[in-house]
């Protein structure tokens, strides 16, 4: 079997069109455009690219973009004060602090300081708690984007065994909660897991989010399964590759995401959706 590709570029374009149409309708109704504040601290090259793309997409769907580029020497107090200002600013519906922050800054208290109604990343304990309780409000972008991809191919979650590889706060943990919410039976594998191959062999849905190139061998993949690769690893050759051995996995799976062009585009599309939702809820 050669797996069909799940086209994240196409699905994310549909999401962006939906958001754009809803923004247009708001403006026609005399309402304001959603406002998204994106904060970048320091000069991490990957973060600079992510932030540039977020701001570009934000403007392309008609949002107001609020941009804050702070030097690598920014202090915790400076960031706290910026977050307080953005929380109080009625034109800002969403606040995103690009991670990782430089090592002298402590991200957790800053993420906690963002008002949960403006937490478009879905990282605030309130929003994660709501997801745990099966009443999600603002949801972490990458896992919610992956659910949209899985829905787009008509995934049957109930009765399926889903394996999430990686237990990060940004992807792995909320991904497991999203899949549980859909009715799948969940396993989360992480650095201490023994016999990863054995778990992969039983996974009807595999989400690989470990950040380790080629960690998942193609021969482990369950025939007929769906493989979602969140990995974005840059090899010494400059080539981007995922956590899954793509060519070999493609020969066994029924569906697979490419890297790039799979999960990546869904993260920003979901961010836009979250910002619009945050705006519509506040609707002032
Ligand atoms: N760094 C890597 N992924 C993300 C994300 O989804 N949101 C933020 N804020 N930072 C990130």
Q: What is the 3-state secondary structure (H, E, C) of 253-273?
A: CCEECCCCCCCHHHHHHHHHH
CATH number of the domain within which 109 lies = 3.40.50.10860
Residues 240 and 151 in one domain: yes
Which CATH number goes with the domain that contains 210? Answer: 3.40.50.720
Residue 113, classed as helix, strand or coil, is helix
Is the residue at 43 inside a domain? yes
Does a structural domain hold residue 121? no
Is 123 a member of any domain? no
Query: In this predicted model, what pLDDT tens digit does every residue of 25-45 receive, in sequence order?
Result: 999 999 999 999 999 999 999
Burial 199-234 (b: 16+ CB within 10 A, else e): bbbebbbbbbbbeebbbbebebbbeebbbbbbbbbe
Q: Say how many C-beta atoms besides its own lie within 10 A of residue 187's C-beta.
A: 17
Write out the binding residues for NADP(+): 166-168
Q: Are residues 111 and 144 both part of a single domain? A: no
**Ligand 1 in reach of 111 Cβ (< 6 A):** no
Q: Domain for residue 86, yes or no?
A: yes
Q: Phi-psi region for residue 31, left (φ > 0), alpha (ψ -120 to 50) or beta?
A: beta
Are 59 and 98 found together in one domain? yes
Please work out whether the CB of residue 171 comes within 6 Å of at least one atom of ligand 1: no
Q: What is the pLDDT of residue 283?
A: 82
Q: How far is the CA of 46 from the centre of ligand 1 (A)?
A: 11
Single out the residue in 46, 80, 115 at which a domain terminates: 115
pLDDT at residue 1 in the model: 81
* Cα→Cα distances 243→28, 37, 43, 173, 237, Å: 45, 31, 26, 17, 16
What are the tokens at 115? 């008002």
- 161 in the same domain as 97: no
Do 99 and 164 share a domain, yes or no? no
16 — phi, psi (to 5°)? -60, -40
ipTM of the complex as predicted: 0.96
Domain count, the chain: 2
The residue range of the domain holding 202 is 139-262
The pLDDT tens digits of the residues spanning 191-233 come to 999 999 999 999 999 999 999 999 999 999 999 999 999 999 9
Residue 101 CA to residue 251 CA, distance in Å, equals: 39
- Is 155 domain-assigned? yes
Residue ranges of the chain whose pLDDT lies below 70: 284
130: in domain: no
Same domain, 102 and 175: no
Residue 97 near ligand 1, beta carbon < 6 Å: yes
- Say whether both 152 and 203 belong to one domain: yes
Q: Are 104 and 160 in the same domain?
A: no
CA dist 65 and 40 (Å) reads 13
* 122 domain-assigned: no
Any domain includes 239: yes
Q: For residues 150 and 251, state if they share a domain.
A: yes
The CA dihedral of 59, 149, 175, 256, to the nearest 10 degrees, is -120
Based on the domain organization, do 61 and 150 belong to the same domain?
A: no
Quick one: 102 and 163 in the same domain? no
Ligand 1 nearest-atom number relative to CA 97: 9
Mutate which of 170, 173, 263, 274 for ligand 1 pocket (most atoms within 8 A of beta carbon): 170
Whether ligand 1 lies within 6 angstroms of the CB of 98 is answered as yes
């Amino acid at each position: 079997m050669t797996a069909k590709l799940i086209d994240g570029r196409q699905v994310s374009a549909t999401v962006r069109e939906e958001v754009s149409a809803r923004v247009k309708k708001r403006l026609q109704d005399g309402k304001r455009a959603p406002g998204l504040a994106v904060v970048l601290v320091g000069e991490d090259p990957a973060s600079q690219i992510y932030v540039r793309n977020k701001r570009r997409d934000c403007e392309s769907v008609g949002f107001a973009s609020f941009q804050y580029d702070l030097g690598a020497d920014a202090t915790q107090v400076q960031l706290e004060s910026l977050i307080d200002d953005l929380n109080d600013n009625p034109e800002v519906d969403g606040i995103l602090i690009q991670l990782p922050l430089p090592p002298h800054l402590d991200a957790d208290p800053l993420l906690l300081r963002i008002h949960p109604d403006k937490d478009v990343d879905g990282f605030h304990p309130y929003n994660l708690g709501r997801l745990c309780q099966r009443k999600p409000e603002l949801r972490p972008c990458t896992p919610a984007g992956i659910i949209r991809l899985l829905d787009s191919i008509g995934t049957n979650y109930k009765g399926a065994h889903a394996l999430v590889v990686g237990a990060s706060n940004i992807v792995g943990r909320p991904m497991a909660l999203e899949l549980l919410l859909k009715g799948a039976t969940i396993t989360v594998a992480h650095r201490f897991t023994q016999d990863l191959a054995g778990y992969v062999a039983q996974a009807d849905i595999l989400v690989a989010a470990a950040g380790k190139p080629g960690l998942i061998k193609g021969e482990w993949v369950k025939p007929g399964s769906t493989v979602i690769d969140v990995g974005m690893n840059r090899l010494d050759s400059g080539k981007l590759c995922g956590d899954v051995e793509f060519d070999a996995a493609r020969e066994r799976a029924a569906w697979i995401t490419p890297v790039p062009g799979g999960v990546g585009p869904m993260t920003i599309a979901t961010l836009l959706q979250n910002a619009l939702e945050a705006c519509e809820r506040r609707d002032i």
